[in-house]
């Protein structure tokens, strides 16, 4: 017989679960060793029940969270019948539904009086995973074996005792061992904190009451999603987005989605080209994250966020061996940005055909750099993913401009760039510029958020730079009739200033930078919403005065003429331009 749960108890248990997840996140921030953890917050935490189904996801990195659902099931199935109290399991392999091998995930079963009740789960981006290229992004990889260390489900702690041999095996294959060891320990601490809080919750309310509350929270999410889908007219809807030519001879590729709405059921079918010998193939777990992000951008539902959201949603990623349903030995490390963000756009566009009133513009796609070298201050090797370098702009909505410098799409505002001073303290670099870019936001009635430029120079040593991503040929997608007429400032690029004065533009490449030379990574802004000629001329004036929009773009994209002092609008000329 089901246990009845009163609303007050439900609210208290829900609050305890949310607090547990937040405390896990705070633990990672305060104890992580690398800048990817303690500055950029490139990690995510979630709680699962014994089924295992996700009962709570944090407001973390979307590309992590969707893939956790199938990955948790794959890990539990692998160790079925051999899950003991005190075990800790580690995993990163996309063949076992992981996202990409840099996102390493820790799973801790939580037992209460001998019964498996919960799992605490922590996924984080390690700054290195071995392989031929520091930080893991190898644009020359033709197969997954050339990218780094694959970790199938393996126990790092067994019945409370650390497997020192296994832990040492992993760390021995990673650069900057101290950072990786510190981050793995931080993950362990976060899982232990989650376990402690959950056991305290069970002590207070008992297993039956807590399970009943969790069942109701999943049902609540299910009801909200079904209610939304019922409001969408039944039918079949299509969306597509282009994946730009990455410069390695594969050309542009199209990803399409077909959405079928029937009552309160939603089916999402994805079509993509055959997988290629290049690092942008996406395995199943990662692609599910892209699909779910497109769905949630459209749905915009309030919490709770748990696996109940997806009971009425089915997904078909297409034929095995394709770009969005890759199989071994496809290389894949760049998949969490490319093609995941293009897949998200394709899904979102199909859903917006179904309900145009919910339309939003896309966020800037990720294009960033990793750096590595020998720190002359300590004589130790360093390696890191510079997450500050991938910060782009948010898309505009039906009612407001996009936010500046909060992207990219795959992280959806959960990523932090960190303080410039702390990055310079941690690594032997000088950051010469980090700021917003004029005209980078998509033009529209509501303007897209601005992208950023991040410029770096190595100090007293040669530095490796690995560039990856997209948004360098195709501007961020707008919505509801938004159109860009000034394209170049809205594209990302990598600019290399050599010591001899030569300036080189590159992307998806590896290079070496010497002292006196600089690399600038330029990120696209978000997409605009609505026709740009409908933007309030006074808002355009304000953008010009804030250096967000140039005089050229004011006239060309927005049809707004300003008086020579740039303090007022020339209304007669504006009327002529817009006419």
CA–CA–CA angle 331, 332, 337 (5° rounding): 155
Residue 2, pLDDT > 70, answer no
Residue 184, pLDDT > 80, answer yes
Q: State the greatest distance between any 2 C-alpha atoms of the chain, in Å, as a whole number.
A: 79
Give pLDDT, residue 220.
97
Q: Which of 123-127, 507-511, 571-575 has the lowest mean pLDDT?
A: 507-511
In what order do the strands lie in the sheet containing 161-162?
Answer: 54-57, 43-49, 115-125, 103-112, 88-91, 154-158, 161-162
Residues 131-145 have a mean pLDDT of 93
Spans of all domains in the chain = 7-222, 360-533, 536-578
Give pLDDT, residue 287.
97
Give pLDDT, residue 479.
92
Residue percentage of the chain with pLDDT more than 70: 99
Residues 288-302 have a mean pLDDT of 93
Give pLDDT, residue 566.
79
CA–CA–CA angle 43, 44, 48 (5° rounding): 150
Residue 279, pLDDT > 60, answer yes
Residue 419, pLDDT > 90, answer no
Residue 470, pLDDT > 80, answer no
Dihedral sign, CA of 566, 572, 576, 579? positive
Residue 368, pLDDT > 60, answer yes
Alpha-carbon radius of gyration of the chain? 24
CA atoms of 274 and 550, how far apart (whole Å): 42
> Which tokens belong to 326?
């890759």
Residues 272-281 have a mean pLDDT of 95
Residues 540-564 have a mean pLDDT of 95
Cα dist from 94 to 98, 102, 290, 539, whole Å:
4, 10, 14, 46
Residues 115-140 have a mean pLDDT of 94
**8 Å CB contact between 566 and 552:** no
CA atoms of 453 and 455, how far apart (whole Å): 6
DSSP assignment of 150-210 equals: ---SEEEEETTEE-HHHHHHHHHTSSSHHHHHHHHHHHHHHHHHHHHHHHHHHHHH-HHHH
The whole model's pTM is what? 0.94
Give pLDDT, residue 60.
83
Residues 195-210 have a mean pLDDT of 97
Give pLDDT, residue 58.
82
In what order do the strands lie in the sheet containing 313-316?
Answer: 235-243, 253-262, 265-271, 313-316
Give pLDDT, residue 471.
61
Residue percentage of the chain with pLDDT more than 90: 85
Residue 247, pLDDT > 80, answer no
Average pLDDT, the chain: 94
Residue 1, pLDDT > 60, answer no
Residue 436, pLDDT > 70, answer yes
**8 Å CB contact between 500 and 418:** no
């Amino acid at each position: 017989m089901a246990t009845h749960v009163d609303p007050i108890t439900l609210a208290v248990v829900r609050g305890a679960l949310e607090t547990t997840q937040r405390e896990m996140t705070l633990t990672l921030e305060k104890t992580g060793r690398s800048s990817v953890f303690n500055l950029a917050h490139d990690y995510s935490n979630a709680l699962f029940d014994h089924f295992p189904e996700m009962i709570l996801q944090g407001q973390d990195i979307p590309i992590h969270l969707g893939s956790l659902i199938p990955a948790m099931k794959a890990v539990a199935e692998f160790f079925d019948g051999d899950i003991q109290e005190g075990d800790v399991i580690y995993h990163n392999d996309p063949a076992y539904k992981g996202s990409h091998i840099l996102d390493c995930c820790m799973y801790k079963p939580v037992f209460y009086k001998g019964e498996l009740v919960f799992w605490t789960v922590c996924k984080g981006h390690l700054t290195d995973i071995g392989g031929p290229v520091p930080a893991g992004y190898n644009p020359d990889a033709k197969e997954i074996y050339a990218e780094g260390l694959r970790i199938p489900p393996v126990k790092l702690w067994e019945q409370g005792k650390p497997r020192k041999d296994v832990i040492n095996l992993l760390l021995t294959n990673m650069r900057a061992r101290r950072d990786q060891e510190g981050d793995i320990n931080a993950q362990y601490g976060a899982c232990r904190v989650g376990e402690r809080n959950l056991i305290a919750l069970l002590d207070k309310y008992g297993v039956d009451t807590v399970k009943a509350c969790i069942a109701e929270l999943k049902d609540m999410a299910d009801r909200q999603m079904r209610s939304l889908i019922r409001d969408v007219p039944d039918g079949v809807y299509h969306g597509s987005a282009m994946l730009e030519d990455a410069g390695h001879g594969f050309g542009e590729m199209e990803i399409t989605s077909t959405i079928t709405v029937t009552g309160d059921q939603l089916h999402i079918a994805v079509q993509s080209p055959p997988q290629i010998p290049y690092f942008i193939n996406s395995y199943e777990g990662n692609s599910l994250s892209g699909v779910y992000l497109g769905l949630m951008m459209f749905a915009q539902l309030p919490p709770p966020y748990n696996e109940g959201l997806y009971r009425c949603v089915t997904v078909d990623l297409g034929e095995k061996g394709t770009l969005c349903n890759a199989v071994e030995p496809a290389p894949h490390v760049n998949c969490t940005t490319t093609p995941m963000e293009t897949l998200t756009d394709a899904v979102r566009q199909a859903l917006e055909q179904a309900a145009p009133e919910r339309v939003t513009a896309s966020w800037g796609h990720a294009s960033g750099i990793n750096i590595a070298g020998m720190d002359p201050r300590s004589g130790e090797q360093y390696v890191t993913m510079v997450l500050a370098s991938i910060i782009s702009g948010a898309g505009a909505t039906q009612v407001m401009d996009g936010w500046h410098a909060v992207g990219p799409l795959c992280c959806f505002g959960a990523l932090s760039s960190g303080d410039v001073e702390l990055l310079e303290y941690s690594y032997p670099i000088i950051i010469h510029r980090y700021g917003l870019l004029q005209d980078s936001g998509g033009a529209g009635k509501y303007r897209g958020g601005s992208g950023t430029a991040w410029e770096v120079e190595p100090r007293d040593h040669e530095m490796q730079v690995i560039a990856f991503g997209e948004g360098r040929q195709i501007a961020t997608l707008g919505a509801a009739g938004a159109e860009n007429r000034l394209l170049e400032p809205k594209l990302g690029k990598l600019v290399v200033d050599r010591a001899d004065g030569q300036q080189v533009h590159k992307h998806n490449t590896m290079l070496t930078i010497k002292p006196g030379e600089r690399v600038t990574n330029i990120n696209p802004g978000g997409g605009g919403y609505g026709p740009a000629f409908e933007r309030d001329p006074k808002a355009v004036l304000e953008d010009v005065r804030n250096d967000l929009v140039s005089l050229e773009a004011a006239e060309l994209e927005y049809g707004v003429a300003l008086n020579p002092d740039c303090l007022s609008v020339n209304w007669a000329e504006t009327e002529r331009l817009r006419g």
